[in-house]
Structure 1
């Protein structure tokens, strides 16, 4: 019987739903002249900014857990096909349908922006590919290092990297100045803590999960501290950016990830809904941007209802579109593939104590 890692289903689902919710909130804010409870909603949106980092973390965690330091032959080629082709096609679609260019020149400019300058939500795929390359090149060296100092060091480095971009004036040099632009957030440098955390938790997963309950209270306290720092920095005006490229996000995301693992050490069961969304998560992430910003307002006087309306409709449309495209042989190359993990298999694994 196959062993399933239950925490991944929860991570994918919550990260995916959070991404749609983040953009639903952004849409509501942009379309309503007045948004009630604005600060509260923005803080809530800020707390969801673990979503994209969680996706890139999952990519390295699964790679390290399944293959350790050596990937199987053809691994990178397979990823280039099933991640690279959707990356190209979705960016072409966003460049046309979302930006609505009037001329071919405008369209090509949009393509360059989305494809190479991080101008669309698909930029996370570029980061994932960098993680794959880092793993292939350096896994055999990283395995010889002590995990905890490496992870702590990477969190400090990532924190300094994002703080540098925020508080240090942009360089006038054309090449160096790119670090302050979108190119700067597409580099692995700001995401390195998620790579190393994914690598070491994947490599030492069994030992990690065997001992994690011993650190229940340190993890909970650490999470509360990270949460307080994030909210405090926003409310005090130290950093009012509502995005995942903040200097206080690496520590916050690290604690969120540890809370996920802690949760899974107590609860192995995966509900049908969680598994269902997990299977569709990649497709939802890729396609939701086509719809979420084009929906109208349900009520002109209710921000909460508009957010819920955008969220539900976008989610349903994205799932339906993914299902229809995946009915065809090459549909997965357009909107991403749907996971084929069956609930019955996961439940049987859970019932027989085979789920970790």
Structure 2
């Protein structure tokens, strides 16, 4: 019987719902400009910024767990088809339907921005492809190193990378200056800590899970510390960016990831809803942008109600569109494929695990 990694279902679902919630908050405040931006809601939005890093972490974790230092034959061809084609088509769609060009020339510029300059949420697919390339090139060397110093070093590196972009003035040099633009989002440098964390947890997954309960309080306290740093930096005005490209995010995301695995060590059960959203997670992430910013206001003076309204409607529309497209043979190449993991199989695996 196949054993499922239950934490992945939780990660995909929470990350997926969080990213829709983030954009629901953004669009609510952009349309309710007469309403003061609630600090509490902004803090909630900030604390949800683990979403995209979690998605890219999952890609490397699964690759390392399933194939260790290798990749299966045809791996890159398969990923180019199932990730690359949706990347192109969704960017073509965003460039027209969301950015609304006035001319063909403007549309071409929009396509260039979304496709090559990180101008759309699809940039996370570019990061995932970079992770695949890093795994292919360096996995056999990384596996020989001690994980803890490498991961800690990568968190420090990523922190410095984002701090430079945030606090150091952008130089006038043509190439180096691009690191301060959206192109800097698309490079793996700021995301490398999630790659290495995913690699080592994936490689040593069984050992990791047998040991993680010993560090329960360390992980909980570390997470609280990371949250405190994040919130303090925002409330004090030291760093008011609300995005995943902050200097204090790598440490925070690392602790959130460890909390997911700690949770999984105690609770392996996956509810139907979690599995259902997990199966649709890539589609929701990829196409929700077509809806979330075009919805009306449910209540002109209550941002919370509008956020919930946007979240629910966007989620439902994204699932319906993904389902309809996937009824056709080539639909999965347009909006991404839907996972086919059955609840009964996961539940059966969970029950066997309990008996073990």
TM bucket normalised to smaller: over 0.9
Aligned-partner SS, 1:353: helix
Aligned equivalents of 2:239, 2:158: Cα separation in 1: 16
Per the alignment, residue 340 of structure 2 pairs with 340
**How far has the Cα of 1:78 moved from its partner?**
0.4
* Cα deviation 1:279-334 (Å, max 9, x = unaligned): 00000000000000000101101111111111100000000000000000010000
Equivalent position of 1:288 in the other structure: 288
Q: Could you list the per-position Cα deviations for residues 78-135 of structure 1 after superposition, in whole angstroms to 9, with x for gaps in the alignment?
A: 0000000000000000000001111100000000000000000000000000000000
* Alignment-derived partner of residue 48 in structure 1: 48
1:216 alignment partner in structure 2: 216
Distance 1:104 1:70 in 2: 44
Distance, in Å, in 2 between the alignment partners of 1:132 and 1:295 is 36
- The 5-angstrom pairing of residues 125-136 of structure 1 reads 125-136=125-136
Gaps of 5+ in 2: none
> Is 1:36–1:303's contact at 8 Å kept on the other side of the alignment?
no
C-alpha separation in 1, matches of 2:79 and 2:46: 31
Cα distance, 1:355 vs structure 2? 11
Structure 2 counterpart of 1:86: 86
More displaced 10-residue stretch of structure 1: 23-32 or 35-44: 35-44
Paired residues for 1:18-29 under 5 Å:
18-29=18-29
Check whether the contact 2:49–2:243 (CA below 8 A) recurs between aligned residues.
yes
Q: In structure 2, how many angstroms separate the alpha carbons of the residues matched to 1:351 and 1:29?
A: 45
Q: Distance in 1 between matches of 2:320 and 2:32?
A: 28
> Does residue 1:147 correspond to 2:147, yes or no?
yes
1:104 maps to 2:87: no
Deviation at 1:34, TM superposition (A): 3.2
Summarize the alignment of residues 1-356 of structure 1 with structure 2, pairs less than 5 Å apart: 1-35=1-35, 38-353=38-353
For residue 37 of structure 1, report the CA deviation from its aligned partner.
Answer: 6.3
1:11-40 deviations in Å (ceiling 9; x for gaps): 000000000000000000100023356111
Which aligned runs of 4 or more in structure 1 are off by greater than 6 angstroms?
none
Give me the whole-angstrom Cα distance separating, in 1, the residues matched to 2:332 and 2:112. Answer: 23
Deviation sequence 1:125-175 (CA, Å, 0-9, x none): 000000000000000000000000000000000000000011111010111
Contact residue 29 and residue 37 of structure 2 kept, 8 A: no
Per the normalisation by structure 1, the TM-score is 0.99
Instruction: Extract unaligned runs of 5+ from structure 1.
Output: none
Deviation of the 1:354 alpha carbon: 7.5
Aligned partners of 1:83 and 1:336 also within 8 Å:
yes
TM-aligned CA deviation for residue 343 of structure 1 = 0.2
Distance 1:23 1:218 in 2: 32
Q: Pick closer, same or farther for the CA change 1:37–1:29 going to 2, 3 Å.
A: closer
TM-score (norm 2): 0.99
- 1:13–1:281 CA contact under 8 A, matched in 2: yes
CA displacement at 1:352 relative to structure 2? 1.1
- Report the count of equivalent residues: 356
